[in-house]
Each structure stands twice: as C-alpha cells, then as structure tokens.
Amino acid sequence: MKRRQFCLAILGGSLLGLTGLSKRLAANPISVVASLFTHHHSAIALGKHYLTLFPEEANYEWLITQTLRSLPANTEPQVLKKALKRQSQKDFYDGNTVMVDGWVLSRTEVRLCALLALT
C-alpha cells in the first residue's frame, strides 16, 4: 500500500464513525475533528510535524475556518463525510498538497491533524 493510499484509508476509515457531526460542529469543533480519526496519536504527531514546517498556521481559529468552513451545516453524517472526501480530492487535483515527513498529503487532511495537535 502506498503512502497516499494509507493516509486516505486512515481518513476514510475514520470518517466511517461519524455520528451527529453537524450538531456537534457548532458546539465543539475539536470534538468533531477528533471523531474523524481512529489513530489520534498518529494524527497528532503528523499535525505537530506540519506545524513545525508551517508555524504561521499554528492558529486554532484560522485552522477551524480553513478546514471546517466548507462543511454543510445540519446534514446527515454521510453527506459531511463525502464533503470532506471531496475537499481532500480537490486538494490533490488543485495541487493543494504538502509533503510532511516524506508523505504527500492534502492540506485539508493535514490541517485537521494540526487542529488536533493544537489541543
């Protein structure tokens, strides 16, 4: 399995556990982000590494805006899961990627990891 496939599998598999995401989004964005990942320690480590490469992005509110603003409000978890997947795919299509520790990741994915690292 290639690195990109592995990362997408982790994110995709993690997104399967979404329940009530839209209701929690307004109340506590970080709990929403945490629910996206099953391997929190790995996501946090990746987020920390990303923030060492891009320290100007180490701003909680800015990262929330950049990563979660495109999510549709008050919709089913499956719709939100698809929205995140589409955004990640769009990042790859647009070249909105970053190399972190030899891994090419979408900005959306790695910024979600950075949010976890900031908490």
Per residue in 45-69, pLDDT tens? 999 999 999 999 999 999 988 887 7
- CA 37, CA 87: separation in Å to the nearest integer? 17
In terms of Cα–Cα distance, which of 108, 97, 39 is closest to 71? Answer: 108
pTM value is 0.71
Per residue in 12-54, pLDDT tens? 544 433 334 434 444 456 666 777 778 889 999 999 999 999 9
